[in-house]
Structure formats: C-alpha cells, structure tokens
Chains A and B, each alone.
Chain A
C-alpha cells in the first residue's frame, strides 16, 4: 500500500519538477535580448575626416565608440610604451578606436586633449591616448570593438583579420 503511495508521490513530484524546469527555461528565454536587438549590431564609420587629437564619438550597439586620430607625437609615445598594437593602422595614419565605456563599471571617460588622456569621473580611472589604462581601478585599457577595415572605413561588429590578431595576442578582449 505504502509503495503505491510512494510511487504516486514520486510520479507527481517528478512531473511537477519537469514542468517547473520547463517554466524556468521559458522565463530565462523571455528575459533574453530580442532577435531584433541582436540583429541591429553593425555600424560603418568613416575615418577619412578624423582630425588629429580630436575625439569623435560614434555609436554602436547603443554604446559610445571613441575614435581618436593620433598625432605624430602620440604615435611616438605609443611606440615607446609598446602600445602601437592597440592602434588601427590605415595607410600612414594611426587611429585609436575603442568602446567608450570605462572597463571598471561602464561610465564614459572624458577626453582631455591637452593631456592626451582620458579621465573617468566615476571612480577616478585614467587612460592614455591609446586608451590604455594608466590609473586603477579599471583593470585594463578600453576594449576595442570587433572591426573590419574597408578602405578608409571600419565596419563595427564584423571581425576582420586585424581584429582577430588583436584578440589572439591579448591586446583586447571580446566585447
């Protein structure tokens, strides 16, 4: 008699658990970003008109993208500190392109062109002209978005060979 009750209890419990897990999965999926949100993930920017040491802010996936054309002096500085690898080289010019969100907690750092560096007002983090971190708390330089070079244009969201190389040697991480 008791074994029959046990069986019914376990059967009921088992099917309830199964339904519960199914419901949880549905709830998880409901909270996922919508396909339309994920699909709108590509932006093309033109670097032709960028001016040296003037910060331009573009937008990609709702996030600000910093574009900073490097002056000769800035390129020299980057060579010395071994940060040339962070820059995108097109012809003779070097560009810093990065997601403009502090790698600490995602505030937007401000650019000071006289100091050629970024300061994040939230928690005092600092970055140099190649967006490499120079003062904590940020754990690393600004992340570089996936890009593909197309003449003087960059397609953000697509992974070109130059970007894959940056990923491979640890210059940036996946955003």
Chain B
C-alpha cells in the first residue's frame, strides 16, 4: 500500500507536468481545431533556455537571493517562449487559417522539425545536465511516503497555474471572449471580439505554461535533450485527449491521471513497456470514448 501511494505521488508529479503541457494543446485545439505539433518543441525550448540562463549566463549568481533568481529564470523563459509561440502562430499558422485541414497539420510538423533542429544546431545533439543544487535537497516523509522539495514545487506551481488559468477562462471577460472564439469565430467577431488577438493570446499562454513545465523537467530530471519535446508532447497530447480535447479542466484531469497510470504501469508491469502505456490509453480512449472523460464529440459526423 505504501509503495502504491508512493507511486501515486510520483505519478502526480509527472502528471502535473503533462497537464501543464496538455493545456497548450487543448487551448489551441479549442480555438483553432488544430493540433499544434510544435507545442512539445516549445516545451523543450523552455528547458534549453533555462539551461542557458542558469549555466551559461550564470543568472543565479547575479541575483542576490536564490529564490528570486529562480523566479527570474521562470519569468524570463516563459516570456521568451511566449514570444516564440507568437512568432510561430504568425508565420506557420495564421496564413493557413482558411485552407484545408491538411495544410496546417503539415505546417505544424514542419515547424516542429525546424525548431527541433534549430535547438540541435545551437546546443548539439547530446544531453545537457542541469546543476544539482538549484533547489535544496530536502525530503519529507509523510506516513512512509517520501516527498522531495522539488516535487512539492512542481505540484504547487503547476496546480496554482492551472487554477489561475481556469479562473481566467471562466471568470473574466477575456476568458469569455476565448470561450466565444472556441465556439464560433465569425459570431465572436460579430460580437466585437478581436479573434486574431484572442488566438495570439492563446499562443502566449500555452507556450508560457509549456516552457514552465520544461524548466521543471530540467530541474527535476536534470538531463535534457533536443528530442524530449516529442516524447513529452505526445504524452501531453494523450492527456489532453484523455480529458477531452478543447476542455481545460479535462487537460488537467487527463494529465494527472496519465501520470499516475504511467507510473503505476512502470512500477507493476515492466519499465520497458512504460512508454507503451500512454499510447495504448490514447488508442483505447479514441476508439471507445472519443469524447474523452470530460469532452466534446470528435468522431466524424456522418
């Protein structure tokens, strides 16, 4: 039982990262009906930029307090990746908004290949290692379950970001405009909503959240590689589908659930098959309940 609970805690940690990345997929899908294949790369770029700030630019040394230093890293990286997200939307997706469904899909794949290789050219193909003591190595034991400080930070930060986003979408005028756009662009435009600006906003928030997830992965696992965007991106996408794509609470639930299922699968079945778990869940969900746990209809209406 204790081991099981430990697995659940581990799963929640990684799951909250999936959930953060999944939010980016689900928001873009909700508004543009586009699978932003490049989103995983934005996540990956987040962790590489953080590596640059922390290791190459030695940002932490220049800022007196280590907590302030970390906050600065998070904010700066989120900002930079949000700008990249904006450029991505502008260059790769906006010109294709009125074309067939195939075109944005291919464009997204192209953007993904481009970003991945750009990072590989700049940073090289090998693994980069984050420094060890960014977060003090404190561990608590609650009823026999070990919880490290880094885990607590990941959980707290991602859950508060998700809450923030949820409130933004549900309670503010801006959120109402976003929801309106996801229902119908033309009608939203008639209601005086600047649809282009809302789409741009989605491409700011999603990548920023993804980048924060990327930094946390870098700090938690400490090894980063230019291919990691693909692996995490696909899992996050699975999480979004699992919860019901286009549905923000769905992405959160889906992420956490996927994290737990994957960790338990790895712990009790076989570690080598861990990567299959996400895909099997993805396929089963799409076959059996394509609406996801909390989502809209996705099967072809014929």
State yes or no: do A and B come from one complex. Answer: no
Write the residues of chain A forming the contact surface with B, with a CB cutoff of 8 angstroms.
none
